[in-house]
A and B are shown apart, each in its own frame.
Chain A
């Protein structure tokens, strides 16, 4: 292209002009290379190869698969499905019959926060003791997702729901007794009006002792009467959220102590923080108007179970961590019709691509397939995607414990320049920390160069 440029007036001769242009061209190329290296994006996949299919599941309404996403810039999802090779009369020829693929964040499955298992109350954890008016407890943490909108903790009210004794179920509808509160396995059903021995409360459910000695849980709302509570808590529990870097107060959430259930999860909700991805925060808990004997308490682990933060007592660092989990506003990263995906006859995979979205690095995501006009037949494997979580099917709660056969595609930024600079610093550090190594290298390199110089001189002198 340069050769076709007209000669520049005022520059004598073309030779110098071409030389300068080459120099400028070289400089521009170097600059371009530096910019490319600084912001280049690398294509990446979630897994190196799709796992072998075990069988298929039929999606009538929806099926989904959570997975751990290590990279940023999600730009596609590959799913192994069966596509029809013929269509019924009146059926629109389409790959999936109007199915939709959706990708969302899945923060509540992220195992990196201290509250890892909703149903587990391990004995290694303890209660903080009453949160009185003048006491401030807290925790620092790293938010791994955008849209932070609450903090869930475990609270105890010291028996403010009811005391152990006898309760009576409402008349009419039978009450379901479950092994664990809310979603535990069904143990039995009791007719309305039955009188029962009740023990403690958990998650707003009452522990009951059945006539045959078995234990289970019944929703407190199913009771017409329960023994009176052992105490009534007063005041408000206040959660304040601060940015860790500058201490700015960002959000505040208040709950009446009297509204809290014994041994239950409680979420302090607030307006979502859209830019909370990988931001560090501190939250504090105080109890306005709480007196001894009428205050609640929160659960904590005396040992360090959360490496990305620490517990606070009166703003000072304390041992262990509160048992907590941040909550996030639901955000759909991608929603795309599967009929527009590309079918690969080679791998039997539907590949849905879209503009790179994010942030998706170091997150748990969920891919959901919603069926359209006809069911979608999706392959599953005993090898689950990264993260090790099982698939879920809205049609079949007893779906196989494997994972959907899927892969995710990314266009992730590679900070090549900063990595290369860091590696160079690392290289220099190896020698800086070990002067003897530097001396030895200097001696060997100098000696080698001297030897080469001597050989060359010998060669020249022989050559005359």
Chain B
């Protein structure tokens, strides 16, 4: 099947339908309900120490006034601090359930603190309230994604996000806050598409301050939504200015630069240069090389408009996931900008399904801690009776065999998805209604008129 055949419905329509067909509306409703019920079922039942630690630090901020004591991920921590301030009255007798060590880098929550939290009388309520922002973020992201694709594809786009196992796992099972930053990224695209470039840039910058992934698409954003190259440079400068402003503000308030703290102490930074090729007595890091090449190639192409940004952004995120070691929650970033492309070609959905399956197998690498142990709120002793997937895998195949094979396949599928996205974009497949690759003088405005 060729790309053009796969995207025939879009081409046939010529323009976006004015409204969703009634069958589609029913399907959208069913998708919303199914995703909600799954999430509601999982919210009180699962727990990871990351979730506990970020709220324990929020407790430090709210109770002891240590609002800026955590310099590593200051923006996301502040969001949690404010949310904790709102939900604390709804958690009776919760003063003693939080960790005193979560704010100490390198120490973290202690086992007895985790046990105390798991024994909290209102544990289900606490977990639901702690994950509620992520539920809302997932829902809003899903809703925004439906507006990024043609109306006929909204149900599919929603299902691919809202029912996506990677999304549900990351936000609801693992209880990670990445969904908040993902929402900022998708909202930024939606705003820019409606012509609000600066608010979009602000959101993207905030998203990047919360999690580092959106920072990699900032240059794409500045270029895709420019009116002129001069403006693109100005947007880039503004983004750097926002970053520097926040950094200097925190430096002034807390006496420590979050940027330097991240670069100097945050262990995940080294992931970006982990994969390296030996060149004589030097090492050539693959990810920075591939990212730079992708960026340069993308800049060389006609690159204005949302389709261009979605293509470059999706490829960038997929590149990041494929070429750096990642923690289980990172893989969420492969999804949001990919969804608009998944809807136009079934082969991509199959590849994404393979990606999900390989990821599920890859989770065995981390063992019970990211699988059964997440269900500790239902009974710690019971969960410990389940076999550790890591040890099951080791009993079947040596780790030096299955791990490279699975990781290699995952990276291959992920890179193939990135390549197909770029091919579809360059093939002129319209996602959002505009002619994706065609240079326009005022792309966002044209896109709105097109729909």
Counting CB contacts under 8 A, is B100 at the interface? no
One digit per residue, 1 when the CB lies within 8 angstroms of any chain A CB and 0 when it does not, for chain B 144-159 equals 0000000000000000
Q: Is the CB of A423 within 8 A of B395?
A: no
Residue of A nearest to B28 (CB): A455
B228 CB–A CB distance under 8 Å: no
B45, B390, B395, B400, most chain A CB atoms within 10 A:
B395
Inter-chain contact A49/B400, CB cutoff 8 Å: yes
Determine if A433 and B387 form an interchain contact, defined as CB atoms under 8 angstroms apart.
no
B87 within 8 A of A: no
- The segment from A117-125, A178-186, A334-342, A406-414 found at the interface with B is A406-414
Q: Which of B48-56, B121-129, B178-186 contacts A (4 or more CB under 8 A)?
A: B121-129
Chain A positions within 8 Å of B375 at CB level: 423
Task: Decide if B385 touches A456 in the complex (CB within 8 Å).
Answer: no
Using A43-B395, A48-B367, A430-B123 as known contacts, say yes or no to A456 and B29 having CB atoms under 8 A apart: yes
B122 contacts across to A, CB distance below 8 A:
433-434, 437
B12-54 toward A: CB 8 Å interface, digit per residue (1/0)? Answer: 0000000000100110011011001100100011000000000
Cβ of B393 within 8 Å of any chain A Cβ, yes or no, is: yes
Task: Chain B residues near A456: list those with CB within 8 A.
Answer: 26, 29
Q: State whether B22 touches A430 (Cβ < 8 A).
A: no
A407 in contact with B394 given A49-B399, A419-B386, A422-B379 (CB within 8 Å): yes
Contact segment of A252-260, A270-278, A441-449: A441-449
Interface residues of B in 362-404 (CB under 8 A from A): 367, 375, 377-379, 382-383, 385-388, 390-396, 398-401
Given contacts A346-B401, A423-B375, A423-B382, contact A434 B124 (CB under 8 A): yes
**A408 to chain B: closest residue by CB:** B395
* B35-83 at interface with A (beta carbon < 8 Å): 36-37, 40, 44-45
Chain A residues near B396 (CB-CB < 8 A): 43
Nearest B residue to A463 by beta-carbon distance? B22
Q: A48-B367, A410-B395, A445-B40 given as contacts; is B378 within 8 A of A415 (CB)?
A: no
- Contact A427 B385, beta carbon cutoff 8 Å: no
A45 and B395 contact, Cβ closer than 8 Å, known pairs A433-B122, A459-B26? yes
Residue of A nearest to B90 (CB): A436
CB distance from B405 to the nearest CB of A (A): 13
Q: CB of A47 within 8 A of chain B?
A: yes
**B240 CB, min distance to chain A CBs, angstroms:** 43
How many A residues have CB within 8 A of the partner chain?
44
Query: Contacts A437-B44, A445-B40: A44 and B379 contacting too (C-beta < 8 A)?
Result: no
**Contact indicator B400/A452 (Cβ below 8 Å):** no
Which of A344, A425, A433 interacts with B124 by CB under 8 Å?
A: A433
Complex formed: what's the CA distance from A415 to B382 in Å?
10
Interface size (B, Cβ < 8 Å)?
Answer: 40
A459 to B22, CA, bound (A): 6
Q: In this assembly, does A191 line the interface, its C-beta being within 8 Å of a C-beta of chain B?
A: no
Q: Least Cβ distance of A49 to chain B in Å?
A: 4
Q: Which residue of chain A is the closest to B365 with respect to CB atoms?
A: A48
Q: Which residues of the other chain, B, contact A423 by a CB distance below 8 angstroms?
A: 375, 378-379, 382-383
Determine how close the nearest CB of chain B comes to the CB of A301; give it in whole angstroms.
Answer: 22
* Contact between A448 and B395, CB atoms less than 8 A apart: no
Question: CA separation between A267 and B390, bound complex, in Å?
Answer: 42
A430 touches B26 (CB 8 A): no
A436 to B92, CA, bound (A): 12
Closest to A436 in B: B125
**Nearest CB on B from A11, distance (A):** 40
Interface secondary structure of B, over-half rule? helix
B338 to chain A, nearest CB (A): 28
Known A42-B392, A430-B44, A441-B40: A422·B382 in contact at CB below 8 Å = yes
- Chain A residues whose CB sits within 8 angstroms of the CB of B45 once the complex forms: 427, 430
A48–B125 CB distance below 8 A? no
Expressed in whole angstroms, the minimum distance between the Cβ of A79 and any Cβ of chain B is 14
Shortest beta-carbon distance, B211 to chain A, in Å?
A: 28
A415 to B393, CA, bound (A): 19
Once bound together, how far apart are the Cα atoms of A415 and B386, in whole Å? 8
Residue in B25, B128, B386, B398 whose CB lies within 8 Å of A346: B398
- The docked-state distance in angstroms from the alpha carbon of A351 to that of B302 is 60
Taking CB atoms, residues of chain B closer than 8 Å to A415 are 385
Q: Is A431 an interface residue (CB 8 A)?
A: yes
A448 touches B400 (CB 8 A): no
**Which residues on the A side are within 8 Å of B25 (C-beta)?**
455, 459
- Chain A residues with CB under 8 Å of B392's CB are 42-45
Mark each residue of chain A from 114 to 133: 1 if its CB lies under 8 Å from any CB of chain B, else 0: 00000000000000000000
Instruction: For residue B173, give the distance in angstroms from its CB to the closest CB of chain A.
Output: 14
Q: How far is the CA of A409 from the CA of B37 in the complex (A)?
A: 40
Q: How distant is B170 from chain A, measured CB to nearest CB, in Å?
A: 21
What CA separation (Å) do A346 and B399 show in the bound complex?
11
Q: Which residue on B lies nearest to A426, using beta carbons?
A: B378
Which of A414, A415, A425, A426 is most buried by chain B, counting CB atoms within 10 A of its CB?
A: A426
Min CB–CB distance A342 → chain B (angstroms): 13
Is B379 a contact partner of A48 (Cβ separation < 8 A)? no
Q: Decide yes or no whether A4 CB sits under 8 A from chain B.
A: no
Residue of A at shortest CB range from B393? Answer: A48
In the complex, which residues 291-349 of chain A have their Cβ closer than 8 Å to any Cβ of chain B? 344, 346-347
CA distance A462 to B37 in the complex (A): 27
Q: Which residues of B contact A444 (CB under 8 A)?
A: 36, 40
Closest to A441 in B: B40
Distance of A39 Cα from B36 Cα, bound (Å): 34
B385 near A414: Cβ-Cβ < 8 Å: yes
CB distance from B60 to the nearest CB of A (A): 25
Q: A184 → chain B, closest Cβ, in Å?
A: 38
Say whether, besides A43-B396, A441-B40, A455-B29, A426 and B391 are in contact (CB < 8 Å). no
Shortest distance between the CB of A344 and any CB in chain B (Å): 8
A interface residues, Cβ below 8 angstroms from B = 42-50, 71, 344, 346-347, 407, 409-410, 412, 414-415, 419, 422-423, 425-427, 430-431, 433-434, 436-437, 440-441, 444-445, 448-449, 451-452, 455-456, 459, 462-463
The 9 closest A-B pairs by CB, nearest first: A426-B378, A430-B124, A45-B394, A43-B395, A49-B399, A426-B379, A42-B387, A45-B395, A422-B382
Would you mind naming 11 contact pairs between A and B with Cβ atoms under 8 Å apart?
A43-B395, A44-B391, A45-B391, A347-B398, A414-B387, A423-B375, A426-B377, A427-B45, A436-B125, A449-B33, A462-B22
Q: A409-B395, A433-B123 are in contact. List 6 more A-B contacts (CB 8 A).
A: A48-B391, A49-B394, A419-B383, A422-B382, A455-B25, A459-B25
